[in-house]
Structure 1
Amino acid sequence: MYLIRSAFIVLILGIFAAGTAFGTTKESFDVRNPANQEINKKCIMCHLKENKSLVLQWENSPHAAAKEGQIACFTCHAAEKGDEMGYMHEGAFIKAILSPSDCGRCHEPETKQMAESHHATAGEIMASLDNMLAEVVGGTPTNKANMASGCWQCHGSVIALKRDKDGSVLRSKTDAPQMDYNTWPNTGIGRINPDGTKGVCIACHSKHSFRASVARQPENCGKCHLGPDHPQKEIYEESKHGIAFFTAQIGGGRNAMNVTKDGKWVLGDDYYTAPTCSTCHMGSFIKLNGSVAPNSHNVGDRISWNLRAPISNKLNRVTFTDGSVTDISGEQPPRSGQKAKTKTYVREGDKLKKVIAEKTIKDVVTWKQRRANMQEVCKSCHGLNQIRNFYSQFDDLINLYNDKFAKPGKALVDELKRDKIWENTGFQHKIGFTWFEVWHHEGRRARMAVAMNAPDYTHWHGMYEIARNFYNEFLPEVQELADHAGQGEKYKKLIADLLAKPEHLWTRTGGSVETMKLINEEQKLRYNQ
């Protein structure tokens, strides 16, 4: 269908020769309209001189090869008359920045799934310790460079226009709206767009080629999912899954990965050598009964644990009676008909406003159902016993982290806060950074690594560093802070009670005599030392 339905209705009054062409997102989507085709031709001819590589990217895209007719510049960039982002450019009324509402005219299911995903909320990071560290600790009240070039480039900015004192949009000599350079250019996946939508498709589908094959490859996810606090890219590279992918013959052929294939990309049909990020979290696959499981742009549909919080918990997806969707944590899922408080952020001007509301739950996808969704993917390559045993290993490591370090550590932090010893974020003291890195860096690395089969990141980059810093940095800093506040005896007892538990008894002796004997014998045999 080449004429896309739209809520925007404005007529094309003329084309370039008339000099008064007003395109809209409804009329411009008629790709067989001769007037639109003429506009697109002029765009292409001009941009071949100005931005040749951009045009070549598009010429080799699925959009340019669309059977219904070329989906070209004006098709997507046409603006509705009256849109603040719009301006007259060479006789066409256009906008430079697109949002999911534009892509959703053709890709409606994908847009809806994305809007309901955690990716779409990635830009809602204002009230977070991460934001505090970037904007305040690493920035100044007047310089947002660390946010603009760091956090926002992955999480997304609130796209803002420059305005005069009366609130009118400032425009360039060509009448294009002037952008707040702190907020754009930006391709953060949770970007808050001028039309109020959240997300940006080009975070994964690079413009102007827009190929699905780009999003299929782990390097694409690696723009954001890497580094000390969420090294999924590095974890994947260490895993057996990553090894299988990188040693495969990347390219065409079913016995390779076939990532450049146009159209569908189904595990067990189009490829079988290895899974990528999109395979497990989003991808289509052949089910045991021979049917094809659909793909999804909601990357959380198959995730059962929250591995980001200080203490991990299970995740249940709820849909409210008003159609909104959120995650509610807990081993025991909520039930349909229950009421639950939920928060969302809505755009007001160039700011986000938090809205908390009590809503009625309509449907629930429990953490067990989400896990079953992921296990269906696993069954493409693995037997049921192997899958069950893997998840037992996974759960045990998460519970170990929670019970031995995260829960006791958070309990001490909470007690310091109740005693008004720990004030605000705690970053004014060394302990604030120490505790943050225990759960936000080392803790996440261990938990994410066990989820994706990366042993070195599970232990040496994860649990080892958690233990080292918990015992040698965090606990002494708790005591030091309490001593300084005149409450040292109370915390000395709290820490002593903690270390008296069986899992911490090693701190008194460094290990048993029997253990040390075995270690000494092994070192002599192995290293002659």
Structure 2
Amino acid sequence: MYKHIIKIISFFFLFYTTSFAQSSISPETQICLSCHEIVTPGIVKDWKAGLHSKVILKEALSKDPLSRKVNSSLSFKNKDIVIGCAECHTLNPESHKDTFDHNGFKVHIVVSPKDCAVCHSKEVEEYEKNLMSKAHINLKNNPLYDKLIKSSLEPNPNILSENDACLACHGTKVEVKGKEIRNTQMGEMEFPILLGWANNGVGRINPDNSQGACTSCHPRHSFSMEIARKPYTCSQCHKGPDVPAYKVYSVSKHGNIYSSKKNEWNFNNTPWKVGEDFKAPTCATCHVSLLVDTNDNIIVERTHQMNDRLSWRIFGLIYAHPHPKDSDTTKIKNKAGLPLPTELTGEFVKEFLIDEKEMEKREKKMKSICMACHTSSWVESHFTKFHNTIKTTNEQTLEATKILLEAWEKGVANASCIFDEAIEKMWVEQWLFYANSVRFASAMGGADYGVFEKGRWYLNKNIQNMKDWLFFLLKKK
């Protein structure tokens, strides 16, 4: 069987050497391709469609600073090659617990941000400051999360249920649990057994102990910037009732224009030129991309931190609040000792949050993006409404919290778990669904998502339901 494999490899090695010499594929990657063209043709086709297969490192380095997407200094000795299978899957083998012997190579399955940093160190450094990079540990190390999943998933959720639920977006912990022999088209081969795989969650814990997954936004194996710049990518995790960003964007005027005109736009240019490459923003426009005007003047620099254009954190927690200073939010404790950035009554835990000066700086960045297309009066009016929405939604959440606190105080609800009783679930919906929906609608022009589609109507209705339920519980008592 192995003689058969060697013959196949030799044939394809010769084929790729002659047919793809122009592409400067390394000999190691050519060997990978010779088998994987047969066993995983979809992967190979996808890779061929991406820039990694088309641009040699020397060419990538020669681009002007605004257009360059790689480090100015690279550790690859041979810069006359493209980035292929071997360049990623054989990097840093000693640090990857999932490294295994595979046809003469030390290969690892999970390519991590540490691997990507060889060419994209700035992006990886920025991403480490992003809350997304810590999405797994911030969730799993929060004691309230354990209570939430037991009341949300099933009484005793197992790791597979958890990986298929919250950790699908927040990221699993990928661990090696031994090895196994599998039958393949090339015969029997040994592979590592991975728990928590497959997963593209933004805060995934990788076998080399790094955090994050670049493939959340740049999926394997084309790693397309176009895909990352389109809103469908973000919708994977930002679409549900708790984070309705994509739904709101879809009905917004920006979303209307995108849906109608996207086929006329250029999603591959770097830098991205406002008014020429696109006529309305996508998620990436406002939160990530390097933008220039028609004279190539920089509007905002590229960022993979993402929250450095955001002053307010408007979803996921009980009250909207200034963004945390640190991407590791497990450090945050309020006066009651709870792992929350606010008190239950809404006061900010300022020690752990950015100050007003930093908030102003971040909002100024966002406004500069808006003003590439809008007048200052339009932009200022928009942010005035948005600030009012933060104030009023926090007030309505506080109203619901007061009802819940009264229920606990009068003994008709038990505060030992804040997620498992009917009145507590109503309270959770107040901030996790309805307040979030209103804030996203206000931030992005989401029309009915601010009113009847889980908006202000439901905020007020839910308060009345909680009052009625409390009255019922007190009468029953």
TM-score for both structures, normalised by structure 2: 0.77
Question: What amino acid maps onto 2:82 in structure 1?
Answer: Q
Question: 2:156 corresponds to which residue?
Answer: 141
Distance 2:338 2:52 in 1: 39
Q: 1-side partners of 2:197 and 2:381: how far apart?
A: 47
Question: 1:155 corresponds to which residue?
Answer: 170
Q: Equivalent residues in 2 for 1:249-260 (5 A)?
A: 249-250=262-263, 256-259=264-267
Q: Does 1:91 align with 2:82?
A: no
Deviations 1:22-53 (A, max 9, x none): xxxxxxxxxx9xx9922211110100110111
Match 1:179 to one of 189, 194, 199: 194
| Runs (5+) with no aligned partner, structure 1 | 1-15, 18-31, 163-168, 251-255, 319-323, 330-340, 344-358, 487-529
Residue-by-residue CA offset, 1:195-223 (whole Å, 9 max, x unaligned): 22211000110100011111000011111
* Structure-1 residue corresponding to 2:13: none
Q: How far apart, in 1, do the equivalents of 2:112 and 2:153 lie? A: 30
Matches of 1:238 and 1:104 in 2, distance apart? 37
> Is the contact between residue 267 and residue 285 of structure 1 (CA under 8 Å) also seen in structure 2?
yes
**Deviation (angstroms), 1:92:** 0.6
> Deviation at 1:76?
0.4
Question: Is 1:277 the counterpart of 2:283 in the alignment?
Answer: yes
Aligned residue type for 1:282: V
For residue 122 of structure 1, give the secondary structure of its aligned residue in structure 2. helix
CA 1:429 to 1:239, structure 2 compared with 1: closer, same or farther past 3 Å? same
Q: Which amino acid aligns with 1:302?
A: R
Cα pair 2:403 2:466 within 8 Å, conserved: no
Give, as a single letter, the amino acid of the residue that structure 2 aligns with 1:161: V
Establish whether residue 304 from structure 1 lines up as the match of residue 304 from structure 2.
no
Over 3 Å counting, the alpha-carbon distance change for 1:429 and 1:215 in structure 2 is: same
Distance 1:479 1:199 in 2: 47
**Deviations along 1:265-295, whole A, 9 cap, x unmatched?**
2324x52411000001112223699631311
Q: 1:65 aligns with which of 54, 60, 74?
A: 54
1:377 Cα deviation after fit? 0.4
1:400 correspondence with 2:379: no
Using a 3 Å threshold, how does the CA distance of structure 1 residues 146 and 369 change in structure 2: closer, same or farther?
same
2:437 maps to amino acid: R
Matches of 2:190 and 2:444, distance apart in 1: 50
In the alignment, the residues of structure 1 paired with residue 328 and residue 95 of structure 2 have an alpha-carbon distance, to the nearest angstrom, of 32
Aligned equivalent of 1:409, options 397, 400, 404: 400
Asked if 1:442 corresponds to 2:434, the answer is: yes
Letter in 2 for 1:410: T
Paired residue type of 1:275: P
Q: How does 1:88-487 map to 2 (within 5 A)?
A: 88-123=101-136, 124-126=138-140, 127=142, 132-135=147-150, 137-141=152-156, 143-162=158-177, 169-172=178-181, 174-180=189-195, 183-250=196-263, 256-259=264-267, 261-268=268-275, 270-286=276-292, 291-292=297-298, 293-308=300-315, 309-315=317-323, 317=325, 366-403=358-395, 405-417=396-408, 421-461=413-453, 462-471=455-464, 473-483=465-475
Distance 1:288 1:477, change over 3 A: farther
Displacement, 1:83? 4.0
User: C-alpha offsets along residues 196-251 of structure 1, whole Å, 9 cap, x if unaligned?
Assistant: 2211000110100011111000011111100211111110011011111111141x
Larger RCO (alpha carbons 8 Å, 6+ apart): 2
Distance (Å, rounded) in 1 between the aligned partners of 2:253 and 2:311:
22
- Contact (CA 8 Å) 1:238, 1:454: kept in 2 or not? yes
| Contact 1:438/1:469, CA 8 A, preserved across alignment | yes
- Residue identity opposite 1:296 in structure 2: T
What SS does the corresponding residue of 2:127 show, helix, strand or coil? Answer: helix
Moved more, 286-295 or 456-465: 286-295
Structure with greater helix percent: 2
Q: Once the two structures are superposed, what CA deviation does each residue of 1:63-109 show, in whole Å capped at 9, x if it has no partner?
A: 11122311111110005247421111011111001110000110011
In percent, how many aligned pairs have the same letter?
25
Tell me by how many angstroms 1:264 deviates.
3.0
1:152–1:188 contact (8 Å) kept in structure 2: yes
Q: Is the 8 A contact 1:315 1:328 kept in 2?
A: no
Distance of 2:227 and 2:320 partners within structure 1: 31
- The equivalent of 1:6 in structure 2 is none
Q: Per the alignment, in what secondary structure is the counterpart of residue 323 of structure 2? A: strand
Q: SS of 2:451's equivalent?
A: helix
C-alpha change, 1:81 and 1:426, in structure 2 (3 Å) is closer
Whether the 8 Å CA contact 2:322–2:353 is kept in 1: the answer is no
Judged with a 3 Å threshold, the aligned counterparts in structure 2 of structure 1 residues 441 and 372 are, in CA distance, closer, same or farther, namely same
Q: State the one-letter code of the partner of 1:279.
A: T
Q: Which amino acid aligns with 2:133?
A: A
Cα distance in 2 for residues equivalent to 1:310 and 1:360: 16
Bigger radius of gyration: 1
Which segments of 5 or more consecutive residues in structure 2 lack a partner in the other structure? Answer: 7-20, 58-80, 183-188, 340-350
